[in-house]
Amino acid sequence: MLQFFFCILAVSLLNRYLSQKVASDYIQERIQSGMVKVLQQCTDPQATETEFNNCADVARAGSWMESLPSQYVYCDGPFSQGRAPLSLLCQFVHSASTQWEDIQAQPVPDFQFSPVSWETGQWIAIRQTSSQHVLLADQAVVKKSADELWGIRNRVMQYVFPVILLMMLMVSWLMASVLLRPINDIKNRLQKLSSKNLNDPLEVTADFTEFKAFTEVFEELRGRLHNSFLQSHRFSSDASHELRTPLTILRGHVELGIAELPSGSSAQIRLRLMGEEIERLIDITEKLLLLSRADSDSLKLEMEKINISDVVSQMVDDAKNFQPNLSVTSTVEPQMLWRCDKNLIYQLIQNLYVNAVNYNLPEGWIHFQLKQHNGALEFSIFNPTQEVVEDLTGRAFERFYRGDSAHTRHVDGHGLGLSLCIEIIHLHRGRISLAVDDKKTVCVTVTAPLDPPDVWFG
């Protein structure tokens, strides 16, 4: 808005300058035209000064602009007979120092123009070439009349300019609203697009041909993105599905080989290491398949009411039994029922628990917290950690992100646990967040409605 105001101000100042320039030139042209008429009609050598002035009034009465000079100085030709001697001004005008030129605006045959500077005054001189008669008008009188006209214009503009400015603002706002409406519609529609609704058309109406082409480009882009996402999801799903069978067969052969080899032999140890890597690949494959289904909105939920308090309490008991080197505590609100997919929620809690164990201190602690607030549950897991990478809170939920490899190379995992958690909780219309305080305590918090009114089913 400030830039628009300065533009209006600059245009107004430029308009004022150009108007003064054009108006001054126009007044000069009209006065010269009036003086030519006077010379054409009133150069009677026998006429008195009064008769000449009366004739001049009649001759220049055709236009109000031509009547601005109220008095003229008339000079006979230098060789006129029977007339009074020429005045000093007339003698100066007829001298060789005066440079005459054709009237530029509206050239008139037999008439010429020249500005004359004599003593302290400036004069406009028109000469009839054939008779050498000259008519002069005082430039000060012309300037005074023009200044009065310009003063009237300025006084009028004091009242008119605010109205013009207001109208320009209104018209500009109206034009901007009309022209930007399709762009705003596209912006609002694009803000609602995600990988789950790319197949929905933009449904934007363009009132102008140029914007119609603009919307068609965005529509084509949306279609290409939708096809790309479908191909990506299909590839991940197909690859994960096809990998499960050979990995399962490999796991079976490895287990059979471990059973046939002597216990504790180097070959058996190598096979056990191979089996662990196969299990890791199977786990990655299962999670990639689950993430692919979540991305393509084809993950089916089996909703039922579960006692989430019992699930968390059981997780706490297992942690105490299997992690004796960690101090496990909990604050669990009892008998909290949650309508959700039990298997997915158990996987969510298990992933958060595994992360809390993997990124803990050697003799650290874990605290589980479950509480209810305004029809929603809030589940949190707290744990201390040794190192906190700078981009942890911003990238913790990215797929395959595991922080700085120098800090996490001793930690088992593949960076898909939290990514899977965020997809699971989104399906239940909840949210998940990660925060780290000054004491290097990591807190992962899950919030979700206990009875979601509209759950996404695949």
Question: Which among 260, 295, 330 is the end of a domain?
Answer: 295
For the ranges 74-78, 150-154, 205-209, the lowest mean pLDDT is seen at 205-209
Q: Quick check: 453 pLDDT over 50?
A: yes
Question: Which among 295, 330, 347 is the end of a domain?
Answer: 295
For the ranges 118-132, 167-181, 365-379, the lowest mean pLDDT is seen at 167-181
Predicted confidence band at 394 (pLDDT cuts at 50, 70, 90)?
A: low
Same domain as 224, residue 356: no
pLDDT score recorded for residue 38:
83
Mean pLDDT (the chain, rounded) = 78
Same domain as 339, residue 278: no
Q: Quick check: 197 pLDDT over 90?
A: no
The C-alpha atoms of residue 389 and residue 392 are separated, in whole angstroms, by 5
Q: Quick check: 131 pLDDT over 90?
A: no
Predicted confidence band at 407 (pLDDT cuts at 50, 70, 90)?
A: very low
Mean pLDDT of 236-257: 75
Same domain as 58, residue 16: yes
Cβ atoms within 10 A of the Cβ of 244, count?
15
Q: What is the CATH number of the domain that holds 245?
A: 1.10.287.130
For the ranges 14-28, 283-297, 367-381, 427-441, the lowest mean pLDDT is seen at 283-297
Same domain as 308, residue 273: no
Q: Quick check: 431 pLDDT over 80?
A: yes
Quote the percentage of the chain above a pLDDT of 90.
Answer: 9
Residue with structure tokens 């700085």? Answer: 404
Q: Which among 349, 354, 350, 351 is positioned nearest to 323, based on CA atoms?
A: 354
Mean pLDDT of 100-104: 81
Domain that holds residue 215: 209-295
Same domain as 333, residue 285: no
Three state DSSP letters for 321-378: HHCCCCEEEEEECCCCEEEEEHHHHHHHHHHHHHHHHHCCCCCCEEEEEEEEECCEEE
Token pair, residue 32, equals 């010269």
For the ranges 154-168, 317-331, 390-404, the lowest mean pLDDT is seen at 390-404
Question: Which among 243, 270, 295 is the end of a domain?
Answer: 295
pLDDT score recorded for residue 380:
94
pLDDT score recorded for residue 310:
92
Same domain as 348, residue 323: yes
List Cα–Cα distances, 52 to 28, 32, 43, 283, 389, in angstroms: 22, 18, 8, 116, 102
Answer whether 204's CB lies under 8 Å from 189's CB.
Answer: yes
Q: Which residue has the higher pLDDT, 239 or 452?
A: 452
Phi then psi for residue 360, to 5 deg, are: -100, 175
Same domain as 345, residue 285: no
Q: Looking at the domain assignment, is residue 178 inside a domain?
A: no
Q: Which residue has the higher pLDDT, 420 or 404?
A: 420
Cβ atoms within 10 A of the Cβ of 127, count?
24
Q: How many domains does one find in the chain? A: 3
Same domain as 290, residue 333: no
Q: Looking at the domain assignment, is residue 198 inside a domain?
A: no
